[in-house]
Amino acid sequence: MKRRSGTRVLFVSHSSELRGAEKSLGLLLRGIRTEEIDPVVILPGRGGLYDQLSALGFPVYDVPMWWWLPPLGDTYPTMLTAYRAMRESVPAVRNIIRTHGIQAVHSNSLVVMEGALAASLETLPHVWHVREILDEASGLSTPLGLATTLGIVEELSDKVVAVSKTTARQFGNSTKVEVVYNGVTISKDRSAQLPGRDGSLKVAFVGSLIERKGADLFVEACLAFSNLDMDFYLVGDEGDRALTQGLKDRISRAGKASRFHFLGFRADISSILEAMDIYVLSSRNDPFPRTVIEAMAAGCAVVVTKSGGAIEAVEACGSGEVVEPSADSIAEGIKRFIDQPAYRRACGESGRKKVNELFSSTIYVSRMTELLNNVAANGRAPRMIDHLIEEFLSGNEPSVQPLPRGLLRRFNWLFGRS
């Protein structure tokens, strides 16, 4: 295989779908100059991201991986399955590292750790891209406890990239953490042709229809205005079918089905947002959603909840309202835009202008390229944890004694037996 001249970096994704984290990875890999970074990619299965990245000509591998941070309600079965599976998946990742002469490893989400373990065993620097805020609203469980989980992430990383200051604060004052905001491609798409009335005020929610994203808060807030000349759009897959059906039933009982439009998953998000007047982020937990930046780039006035790093983007761009994650507070934010159209237009214009200065794909790719090259250049010395991981993956009992008590507590899960 022909080798490019850039630093050889292995990018490990937790998913091959095309949601926020995966889109950010795709944007990075499309923007990277191969004379600076020479990418190899691992995905757990074949999906939209697999097809997209394969078309770029990078080596893309399919390696099954299980989440070591399971979804809520499925804690121990998933966790134990993940630990068992690592004894096959980590050696597969190591083989890819050796085949391509990888110099650094980048993990695109907290929920899979094969990249971190393989990097440790190959004595390579590892970058963990943290896109999650691990609180009760995250939808993820931390069976080992929050402090231990974050300690493991820090221990297995040479650099932790946080997508917002809010996300970074989980790690206290760690010197390993660096904030790099997500970027978006600033497009000039035409407005999409959508259902609804000509000339109505259009309000959008974009995201998977799940509790964490607050689709229910959006619907409840918008029902307060359903007698006005307004249309409301929910753009995203039915992540929770019961919740989605419940929302449709609620709207139907209110007699407002003609005002609410469920568009499902769409690839033309920027075109849809160009047709909107107001964008609402109603999330209960959202570390730094790309759609907020995309909405500002489209000239939407935005209402965002205090749920993560979106606050930082809105305040930096002067593009809208920051409210509590409740239906009443979201409704109040929307009402201010209804009552003050000049203010709404000013917020949209400010966001469209400033997002290009602060959150463009060019800035994002440049920051990540510099960071990855620096990490690779600094290399990594062997550590005690490398031996502990080797013991875990081999299935043997630990042979290194004595261990520092704090380290043993942090990593004793590596030696567990089910």
DSSP per-residue string spanning 304-366: EESSSTHHHHHHHHT-EEEE-SSHHHHHHHHHHHHH-HHHHHHHHHHHHHHHHHHSBHHHHHH
Query: Which of the four pLDDT bands, split at 50, 70 and 90, describes residue 137?
Result: confident
Cα angle: 138, vertex 25, 192; to 5 degrees: 85
- Domains defined for the chain, CATH in brackets: 7-183+363-415 (3.40.50.2000), 201-359 (3.40.50.2000)
pLDDT at residue number 415: 40
Query: Which of the four pLDDT bands, split at 50, 70 and 90, describes residue 76?
Result: low
User: Residue length, the chain?
Assistant: 418
pTM of the model: 0.83
- Residues 13, 46: Cα–Cα separation, whole Å: 12
- Residues 210, 204: Cα–Cα separation, whole Å: 15
What are 256-278's pLDDT values in tens digits? 999 999 999 998 999 999 999 99
- Residues 110, 112: Cα–Cα separation, whole Å: 6
What are 3-47's pLDDT values in tens digits? 567 999 999 999 999 888 999 999 999 999 999 999 999 999 999
Of the candidates 317, 313, 319, the residue with the CA atom closest to the CA atom of residue 286: 313
Instruction: State the residue for tokens 């009982």.
Output: 253
Q: Is residue 149 predicted with pLDDT exceeding 60?
A: yes
CB distance 181 to 24 below 8 Å: no
What are 280-300's pLDDT values in tens digits? 999 998 888 889 999 999 999
Is residue 172 packed enough to be buried (19+ CB in 10 Å), middle (13-18) or exposed (0-12)?
A: exposed
pLDDT at residue number 414: 52
What are 171-197's pLDDT values in tens digits? 999 999 999 999 988 776 778 899 999
pLDDT at residue number 125: 98
CB distance 301 to 344 below 8 Å: yes
**Over residues 132-158, mean pLDDT:** 87
Query: Which of the four pLDDT bands, split at 50, 70 and 90, describes residue 74?
Result: low
Phi, psi of 127 (to 5 degrees): -115, 125
pLDDT at residue number 141: 85
Arithmetic mean of pLDDT over the chain: 89
CB distance 7 to 36 below 8 Å: yes
Query: Which of the four pLDDT bands, split at 50, 70 and 90, describes residue 75?
Result: low
pLDDT at residue number 284: 94
End-to-end CA distance of the chain: 42
Enumerate the β-bridge partners of residue 162.
Answer: 130, 179
pLDDT at residue number 395: 59
pLDDT at residue number 287: 87
CB distance 71 to 208 below 8 Å: no
CB distance 287 to 306 below 8 Å: no
- Residues 214, 59: Cα–Cα separation, whole Å: 37
**Over residues 316-342, mean pLDDT:** 97
What are 152-168's pLDDT values in tens digits? 899 999 999 999 999 99
Of the candidates 351, 313, 370, the residue with the CA atom closest to the CA atom of residue 167: 313
- Residues 248, 260: Cα–Cα separation, whole Å: 9
CB distance 109 to 139 below 8 Å: no
Q: Is residue 369 predicted with pLDDT exceeding 70?
A: yes
Of the candidates 391, 380, 385, the residue with the CA atom closest to the CA atom of residue 415: 391
**Over residues 321-335, mean pLDDT:** 97
- Residues 334, 353: Cα–Cα separation, whole Å: 22
Residue 206: how many CB atoms within 10 A of its CB? 25
- Residues 103, 332: Cα–Cα separation, whole Å: 51
CB distance 364 to 314 below 8 Å: no
Which range (76-85, 224-233, 318-327, 343-352) has the least confidence? 76-85
pLDDT at residue number 401: 46
